Amino acid sequence: METLVTIERAIEIARQTPISPTIESISITESNNRILAENLHSKIDDPPFDNSAMDGWAVRFNDKHRTEIGMTAAGDTPTSIGQGEAVRIMTGAPIPEGADAIVMVESGLQGEAHPNFIRRRGENLTKGTVALQAGQLMTPAAISLAATMGHATIPVRCKPRIAVISTGDELIPPGDELSEGQIYESNSHGLCALLEKIGCTPILHDTVEDSVEGLRTALNSIDCDAILTSGGVSMGDLDCVRKLMEEEGDIHFWKVAMRPGGPPLFGTWNGTPLFGLPGNPVSSHLVFTMIVAPWLSPEIPLAKHVPIRMKDPVKGAPGKTCLRRIQIVSEEGELTGSTHTHQGSGNIHSLVAHNGVTLLPPDTSANAGDIIDALWFV
């Protein structure tokens, strides 16, 4: 087991225990935001035939005077023209045999002819070209491309099924009446939403009390690709996730040099990868964003690295990368960052009121005006 690892090292260690994706074939209509499991080649030339890029007339470039002899539209079979002849043509219609240029409708029949207004067969893609690679995120554009290439079913990675369990005697479901000492359980709901965002299927379990026995029973009941727990990973006597994993599980790392989010652990429970996230709401979200997401789903980043100019001074943390919540905006040709709320790791409002975090290296602080690295949530 390694302790107090960097964020990069934590990702590296977790990646040594990948969840092995299985493959399923799904309808293209279901493929949004899924990850392609195999290369997709084009079944056809794109476009499949020479066609007009404009509404106008299909003509012979060298003709000085033209006579219209007919009309052709998208979906028609190709016609033909002879010398001095022109065919009224709509965008996407096949070029008549004998035509080699298009006159735009705006120019009139005797107007200027343009050979480059013909879209040539295969000019976008030739048959057999691999235009979508395994690992590609099926974005709306990728979906259109797959359809253009003739694919009705898409081989994708099965969505990993990830169990989410919160631990804590003080936690009760939102909506119930709070008694003294209780708070609403919030992490599991945010974590499930984060999992959905990165293409996983969250399986939400009931909150477990702070007991090793209760947690053991809950973990043993789980049949998932990985487990995310929240809370109970610190040094306290009741921190049952750490205790149980120490005694009966297998811990690969414990503690990451980041603030907030210091105490997470990663390992396996009966062979199933388990991420023990800290209970503080900001910490659990940020550990997910920084480490869990790049491990589970590197194809769908939750944030991008950007340089920003700080508008407010921010204090770093000794020995830890400091993730202050900041609002990143583009002004006068550069990105700036400012802080707006109390920064405590228990203040989840700080993650709603801001759209990014600083990546202040250990033992550094920033003054107003300094340019620093940051993460911009996407």
Residues that bind ligand AMP (CB under 6 A): 166, 168, 170-171, 183, 185-188, 230-232, 234, 278-281, 346
- The least CB distance from residue 201 to Mg ion, in Å, is 26
In DSSP terms, 3 is beta-bridged to 254
Query: Is position 261 an interface residue for Mg ion (rule: CB under 5 A)?
Result: no
Whose CB is nearest to ligand AMP?
279
By CB under 5 A, the residues from 217 to 246 that bind Mg ion are 231-232
Residues in the interface with Mg ion (CB under 5 A) total: 4
Concatenated DSSP letters for 174-201?
TTSPPPTT-EE--HHHHHHHHHHHTT-E
Task: Pick between residue 276 and residue 316 the one whose CB is nearest to ligand AMP.
Answer: 276
Rounded to whole angstroms, the Cα distance separating 308 from 344 reads 22
Q: Based on CB atoms, which residue is closest to Mg ion, 231 or 267?
A: 231
| Torsion sign (Cα): 86, 92, 96, 101 | positive
Task: Estimate to the nearest angstrom the gap between the alpha carbon of 268 and the chain centroid.
Answer: 25
Q: Which stretch binds Mg ion (CB under 5 A): 12-20, 39-47, 134-142, 167-175?
A: 167-175
Residue found under tokens 């379990």: 205
Please, which residue, 136 or 345, has the CB nearer to ligand AMP?
345
By the rule CB under 5 A, 281 interacts with Mg ion: no
Residue of 199, 279, 294, 316 interacting with Mg ion (CB under 5 A):
279
Q: How many angstroms separate the Cα of 177 from the Cα of each of 101, 168, 170, 174, 187?
A: 75, 17, 13, 8, 18
Residue whose token pair is 């053991």: 216
On the 0-12 / 13-18 / 19+ scale of CB atoms within 10 A, 75 is exposed
Residue 264 found at the interface with Mg ion (CB under 5 A): no
Closest CB 168 distance from Mg ion, rounded Å: 4
59's contact among ligand AMP, Mg ion, none, with CB below 5 to 8 A by partner kind, is: none
Residue 136 or 207: the one with the smaller Cβ distance to ligand AMP is 207
**How far, in Å, CA of 171 to CA of 204, rounded?**
15
CA-derived radius of gyration, the chain: 29
- Which residues of this protein are in contact with Mg ion, per CB under 5 A? 168, 231-232, 279
